[in-house]
Structure 1
Amino acid sequence: MEKDNAYPTFLTVPDSVAVLETGRAVKVTGTLDGHPFAATLMPSGTGAHWLPLRAALCTQLGKSAAGELVAVHLQQRLS
């Protein structure tokens, strides 16, 4: 997990522009540490997307600090 001024908590999805074949926002579903989620991957402008995490989901995961590891499984692209 990471933190900055743009998003309170987010994950970087490396090489996502190449995999998704777009640098635009993309809606996805998946799991974080086994917990289901739906969110929008936001373009970072550097060839990756950011996955912003809502505070409620971070609480559910029991994680809130930058640098904590989260198992991510993207299951479906919705847009």
Structure 2
Amino acid sequence: MTDVPHDLDHTFTAPIGVDIKGETWPCVEMPGSAELFGTRRSVRVDATVDGVPVPDVGLMVTGRGGHMLSLSAAMRRRLGKDLGDEVTVHLRRRFR
């Protein structure tokens, strides 16, 4: 784990909605995240979602070895998107 922020330039597109034990959570799952980050623990990043800044947010573990970004109801309203809609996430900086 590092406390020194470092730049990232990683973009992915995925639908909103992660199935966790039969419940759909309003999150976006990042493919290949454990390999990119080198960890299966939560990671803090600066990101954008469809161009909207999401500073210093935690990517939570999925339980399947990956990471997911939670999208609040307010953020989904701002994006004009909901469960099942695709968003593009750009990771710009990793904090830890």
Counterpart mapping for 1:21-60 below 5 A: 21-38=38-55, 39-60=57-78
- Answer with 19-28 or 50-59: which moved more: 50-59
Alpha-carbon distance in structure 1 between the residues aligned to 2:18 and 2:64 = 17
Q: 1:44, CA displacement in angstroms?
A: 1.1
Alpha-carbon distance in structure 1 between the residues aligned to 2:73 and 2:45 = 18
The answer (yes or no) to whether the contact 1:18–1:47 under 8 Å persists in 2 is no
The answer (yes or no) to whether the contact 1:25–1:42 under 8 Å persists in 2 is yes
Q: Which consecutive unaligned segments of at least 5 residues does structure 1 have?
A: none
Alpha-carbon distance in structure 2 between the residues aligned to 1:48 and 1:28 = 15
CA deviation string 1:12-60 (max 9, x = no partner): 0011001000100101111111100031001112231011112211111
Structure 1 runs of 4+ off > 4 angstroms? none
Alignment partner of 1:61 out of 79, 93, 96: 79
CA-atom RMSD in angstroms? 1.5
How many residues are treated as equivalent by the alignment? 77
| Greater Rg over alpha carbons, structure | 2
TM-score scaled by length of structure 1: 0.86
